[in-house]
Amino acid sequence: MRIVPSRRMLLLAGLSLPVALLATLGPGHAVFLPAFAAVLLLIALLDLMLSARCMQDLRIEPDPVTRLARGTGGKLTLHIRCTERPPQQLSIGLPMPVAFLQEKAEQTVSLSGPGATHWTVAWELTARARGIFPCPPVVAERPSRWGLFALRKSFPNEAEVRVYPSLRRERRQLANLFLNRGNIGAHAQRMVGQGREYEQLRDYSSGDSMLDIHWKASAKRGELATKTYQVERTQEIYLVMDHSRLSGLRSTPAGGDIDDDYAETILERYVTAASVLSLVAERQGDLFGLVGFGQRVSRFVRASAGKQHGQVIQDALFDLKTERGPFDLDELFTFLSLRLRRRALLIFLTDLSDSAAAEEFRKRVKMVASRHVVLVNSIRRPGVHPLYGEPKVESARTIAEELSGHLRWEGLRHLQRELRAGGVEFALVDDEKLSVEIVNQYLAIKQRQIL
């Protein structure tokens, strides 16, 4: 506990100056200053003695876990407990990290109410960065019994603040998407089609394909039997997300400030898209899984469904950070080949603007393209567009910069053709439309029954 002199104490101490001037009137007045100082010291000591136990019974604790959305205002709840003589006024300070915006650095709380021993304070915060942050110690201050001192005490805690990506903008976009598709209120249903999941055997009918005849069962029965199939009720969807060094590049939303220390990065777009796709997959009745990779495979969540699984996905996403080094595709595709045995939809989010990385990816992706349906998405970087053929916003770019952007675009188009020849679809997506485009791709795969 720290003891700080109050304004009242400083005012009383300031009175010693005029008392000291009395000594100039004569030798008999010199005794007033020592007497005044002794009385003031005695009063201060008595005030401290009477106030020694004022802060011993006070406890201040935040909620163990506070969950916020990035860029959205939220509240952190503080619990104040005091059973013996709670102070009428209590000043509380919460020095949050610079990643949080708060309107007030301190608040004055009135602890009133007959017989009350527990009070709560809502501390308004706005998080500017995603991740997990330890809650700093709460500092409380109250006046001493006679108001000569301010008693301060720090209350350490083990609470944490978890900041998740905000989905407000994506929810509005997806609401329009589902409205246009007429899917409001729709539920996952069994789809009509040949499908890939074996259902049962039936007697052979004229016109059945020879590939659908079950020859072993036909030999046992002595007559031809045909296999029937149905569309899978639950399909596995995996989002494979790159958080290597290129994912730390700044995103450039319309009207955004790219120089802001807390501006959205490419990784933020990936995390938001993963959260959105997990919600859509659950609504469609499919199983959603997550793979995060950088210099190694750092995240793996087996495809599943349910509210508890949704929280597992969010816990795997919210503290994902950009790694400094490049990605290791050899380890990634070996990992996917060994872990994913069932045919699944793999949606890659990665930056293939580097020609060497793109060539390595094209060679390695063959390890999974033969077994799974693979979609690859990259965010279009500023200036990457064809020189002719697409309307562009007027800018002060030079001819050399325009040609450089065209060559990079042409390289990505060439990569798209090579990947498509190997059965892999590649799309170059604008950063603000990433979530909607991925959902569109996923719903198109389901409608075409490619899985």
- 180 & 216 share domain: no
Q: Is 173 exposed, middle or buried (0-12, 13-18, 19+ CB in 10 A)?
A: middle
pLDDT at residue 183, as a whole number: 47
- 387 & 275 share domain: yes
3-class DSSP assignment, residue 447: helix
- 152 & 180 share domain: no
- Give the confidence band of 253 by pLDDT, cuts at 50, 70, 90: low
- 45 & 87 share domain: yes
- 390 & 416 share domain: yes
- 132 & 184 share domain: no
- 222 & 258 share domain: no
Would the pLDDT of 203 be above 90? no
pLDDT at residue 43, as a whole number: 86
Report the alpha-carbon distance of residue 431 to residue 437 in Å, rounded: 10
**What would the pLDDT profile of 95-152 be if each residue is shown by its tens digit?**
898 889 888 888 888 887 777 788 888 999 999 888 889 999 999 888 888 888 888 8
- Average pLDDT on 38-44 reads 86
Please state which of the ranges 127-131, 164-168, 297-301 shows the lowest mean pLDDT.
164-168
Q: What residue numbers bound the domain in which 210 lies?
A: 201-230
Would the pLDDT of 430 be above 50? yes
pLDDT at residue 382, as a whole number: 79
Q: How far, in Å, are 93, 109, 307, 313 from residue 265 at the CA level?
A: 32, 39, 28, 20
Please state which of the ranges 257-266, 294-303, 378-387 shows the lowest mean pLDDT.
257-266
- Give the mean pLDDT of the chain: 82
- 42 & 184 share domain: no
- 373 & 336 share domain: yes
- Give the confidence band of 184 by pLDDT, cuts at 50, 70, 90: very low
pLDDT at residue 260, as a whole number: 57
- What CATH number corresponds to the domain at position 145? 2.60.40.10
- Average pLDDT on 401-427 reads 88
- What CATH number corresponds to the domain at position 421? 3.40.50.410
pTM to 2 decimals? Answer: 0.71
- 133 & 241 share domain: no
pLDDT at residue 232, as a whole number: 57
- 90 & 209 share domain: no
- Give the confidence band of 195 by pLDDT, cuts at 50, 70, 90: low
pLDDT at residue 182, as a whole number: 45
User: In this structure, is residue 194 part of a structural domain?
Assistant: no
**What would the pLDDT profile of 379-413 be if each residue is shown by its tens digit?**
988 778 787 765 555 555 788 878 888 888 888 89
pLDDT at residue 193, as a whole number: 46
Tell me the residue ranges of DSSP E strands in 102-251. Answer: 106-110, 118-127, 131-134, 138-143, 149-155, 160-164, 197-203, 225-230, 236-242
User: In this structure, is residue 402 part of a structural domain?
Assistant: yes
What is the domain count for the chain? 3
pLDDT at residue 426, as a whole number: 94
Tell which residue, 170, 177, 172, 368, has the closest CA to residue 275: 170
pLDDT at residue 185, as a whole number: 43
Report the alpha-carbon distance of residue 16 to residue 162 in Å, rounded: 53
pLDDT at residue 152, as a whole number: 87
pLDDT at residue 236, as a whole number: 93
- 372 & 412 share domain: yes
